[in-house]
Structure 1
Amino acid sequence: MSNLNRLQTNDLEIGATDAVQQHYARHVVATKPVSQRKLDFEHSRPRWLRECMAEATGVFFYVFPGIACITDFTLNGASPLGVSAFGSIFQIGWGFAIGIAFAIITCASTSGGHFNPAITICFATWQGFPWRKVPYYIFSQIFGAFMAGMLLMGMYWPEISAFKAETLAAGKPLVANGGPASILCTFPNPTQTNLGYLFLTEFFVDSYIGIVIWACLDPANPFVAATSAPFAIGLAYATMVWGFADIAISTNLARDLGTRIVAAIFFGGEAFSYLNYSWIAILVNVPATLFATAYYEFLMRDSLSKIAGGHALHESGEEGLHRHITRTGMIEQGYASAIGNGRAAQNGTAGENGLYEQKTL
């Protein structure tokens, strides 16, 4: 068999080569060649614009199905058990979970898939993400949530208007948990006046989600593949919705601030002043996620496993890794391959986003 017939591999057995040839030949419809014009157009697009659009689109994909489920649930009324003919807290949790998974699947390959200002700040703090990109990533994330809220108001405007009129006729507030504004962003129950309690609840929920996200993105974690990470992260959000949605949680600065601006446009500035709660919903996510990622970095991260898997290099190269292993005696099964993997990794180049090329989010 000629080298050409063997796909110029030379080192494959004939049976394997035949299988590869059949795989590449199995096209139902021939793919359209990529034109030079298309390549030139894509090359001319600014990278920052692609990243911003991906972050905004991803947040939109995450927020829109979640608040749509909340709208169904709120407009159609709920029983004392939290169930209506059109949904439940369980459905809302799944709306956010699947929305997050879709956001990661569709947009993370372009921007790295932060979709949360706190995550962007944590990547800049721990993983070398450029600080110069942080402001426009955060702006894009908030803009995506804002657009999700605006589109939802447009699509449900007749129903929301009728619900607003009913609420006013009944002498109930527009801005309150269960009111029209609550379809867009979080408000506490009227009895929840203890801001310290609300702060701790939000801090715990966001820390829980942050640890799960950081574990899913750890390239040394053998239990999470890149294909399963979107759904694992989505389920982390869903479990917190199922457990704590009835006592007011936000989970994401962009998700809350973007839709809260929409709520203020349609229902008044009380969307920000109600029970002095909005600062908790907007800001607590950042310190909580920083705490969660610091917890993982300082107490759970195993960077030697990361190097052993070929996902990182020692700052001093192969020589520094030799010194560390010699000094610590860490010649355990698996770690010995770190030097070889480190040498192989040096032959490639790490992308600007680094971690995202290893396990995309």
Structure 2
Amino acid sequence: MDDTLPLGRPSSFRSDYKLRQRIRQRLGLDPKAPEKLNGYRAEENLWPHIRSIFQEPMAEFLGVTVAVMFGCGAVAQALLSKAQAESYPDNYGDWGTVSFGWGFGIMIGIYVAGDSGAYLNPALTLAHAVYRGFSLRKVPVYFFCQFLGAFVGALLTYANYVSAIDFYAGNGIRRVPPAEGATAQIFVTFPQTFVPVASAFFSEVFATGLLTLSVFALKDDTSNGGIARASNNWFPLKMFFIYAAIGTCYGWETAFATNPARDFGPRVACSILGYGEALWTNAEYYFWVPLVAPFVGAILGGFIYDFFVYTGASPVNGPWLGIGLLFSRSEEQTNRDARQEEWQKLPEHQGN
């Protein structure tokens, strides 16, 4: 008997299980992760088996889609309701509701994407691959699903608000800030007109670094007896407060992308929807800032937390703050193995 197959599995699915292992291995996913076939007659149906192959990427995709729908929806309501300012002078939203909307989106997205680890952010994904036990082989498929999820989330939000956009800006008119009647800021980020690109880059690095530092603190069971992890089921709610706080305190200058997928995916969607070349050229070709700066911020934020606080396996705790690992493949592999061993011991990361 093939001992890689679960006990009690019908023999007709033996070859399917091996195919599942091969596909998952090529995607960088754990080929031995257990299948979740608990539904009625799930063993006999095709879709549960397909879903089990891509369960983490699909969960990540849907989590990002939901997060972007909440966040962009909050911006849409705050902006587009201004068209009725004469009847409703208080509108239906402001910067506070935008920050809370994104916070709620992240919280619900984490609940939705639980099977994937719920990173919802390529910058956070990369930081976990660099400093924690997240496999580098998983990074490409996670990146793809995160960008795709943000793209779809923006399209769905647009479909919901297209009539309101026409009412606000004019039928079929699609403009980009700082033009009058612009609506592209519902989906993508732009800096305030007085903020130069260098300052905007710093702002995004700063906000994303703070986000990454906070996430690492919440997941750290080596500090203060793991006090931050004492109520692990509250992690999504904690992320709501963190994200809403970052938006409230540091979001105004650049609209706090803090997530390359959250901006670039919707930007591509807006290009398809007719927002034009200005989407890429305005504000001194600003589009690259929310795409690049969050990665820089996440790497810096992770380094700062590990340098000052983290006592577990991390490159920062290796020779010469990790620099020595760059020159010794064996040392780097030993450090990575230790990080992955710690990672797998955490209940929420088992199988991820």
Q: Same fold (TM over 0.5)?
A: yes
Match of 1:274 in 2: 282
Distance 2:191 2:159 in 1: 25
Asked if 1:98 corresponds to 2:109, the answer is: no
Distance 1:231 1:357 in 2: 16
Contact 1:176–1:188 under 8 Å retained in 2: no
Distance apart, 1:256 and its partner CA: 0.7
Distance 1:166 1:38 in 2: 48
Contact 1:149–1:184 under 8 Å retained in 2: yes
Match of 1:316 in 2: none
Contact 2:221–2:228 under 8 Å retained in 1: no
Asked if 1:117 corresponds to 2:122, the answer is: yes
Contact 2:205–2:293 under 8 Å retained in 1: yes
State which of 153, 157, 172 in structure 1 corresponds to 2:158.
153
- Structure 2 unpaired stretches of 5+: 1-36, 315-339
Question: Highest Rg: 1 or 2?
Answer: 1
Distance 1:200 1:75 in 2: 30
Match of 2:218 in 1: 216
The alignment yields a C-alpha RMSD, in angstroms, of 3.0
Contact 1:142–1:258 under 8 Å retained in 2: yes
Match of 1:339 in 2: none
Match of 1:55 in 2: 60
Could you list the per-position Cα deviations for residues 169-189 of structure 1 after superposition, in whole angstroms to 9, with x for gaps in the alignment?
Answer: xxxx81115721111011122
Distance 2:344 2:147 in 1: 21
Distance apart, 1:205 and its partner CA: 0.8
1:195 and 1:162, CA in 2 relative to 1: closer, same or farther beyond 3 A?
A: same
Asked if 1:207 corresponds to 2:209, the answer is: yes
- 1:134-173 alignment to 2 at 5 Å? 134-165=139-170
State which of 309, 312, 333 in structure 2 corresponds to 1:303.
312
Distance apart, 1:279 and its partner CA: 0.9
Contact 2:343–2:349 under 8 Å retained in 1: no
- Structure 1 unpaired stretches of 5+: 1-32, 307-348
1:265 and 1:216, CA in 2 relative to 1: closer, same or farther beyond 3 A?
A: same
Distance 2:247 2:293 in 1: 17
- 1:150-299 alignment to 2 at 5 Å? 150-165=155-170, 174-176=175-177, 179-192=182-195, 194-220=196-222, 221-224=226-229, 225-248=231-254, 249-266=256-273, 267-275=275-283, 276-299=285-308
Match of 2:13 in 1: none
1:351 and 1:357, CA in 2 relative to 1: closer, same or farther beyond 3 A?
A: farther
- Count of residues paired in the alignment: 277
Distance 1:233 1:256 in 2: 19
- 1:68-83 alignment to 2 at 5 Å? 68-77=73-82
Could you list the per-position Cα deviations for residues 153-209 of structure 1 after superposition, in whole angstroms to 9, with x for gaps in the alignment?
Answer: 1111111123232896xxxx81115721111011122333x1111111111111111
Distance 2:207 2:38 in 1: 46
Distance apart, 1:298 and its partner CA: 2.2
Task: Give the TM-score normalised by structure 2.
Answer: 0.71
Q: Provide the identity percentage.
A: 25
Distance 1:360 1:161 in 2: 46
Could you list the per-position Cα deviations for residues 55-112 of structure 1 after superposition, in whole angstroms to 9, with x for gaps in the alignment?
Answer: 1111112111111010011111298xxx94201111111111111111112222x111
Distance 1:36 1:62 in 2: 30
Match of 1:336 in 2: none
Contact 2:121–2:146 under 8 Å retained in 1: yes
Equivalent position amino acid for 2:292 in 1: L
Distance apart, 1:116 and its partner CA: 0.5
Q: Secondary structure at the match of 2:82?
A: coil
1:356 and 1:157, CA in 2 relative to 1: closer, same or farther beyond 3 A?
A: farther
1:48 and 1:200, CA in 2 relative to 1: closer, same or farther beyond 3 A?
A: farther
Q: Secondary structure at the match of 2:348?
A: helix
Contact 2:151–2:268 under 8 Å retained in 1: yes
Task: Give the TM-score normalised by structure 1.
Answer: 0.69
Distance 2:119 2:347 in 1: 10
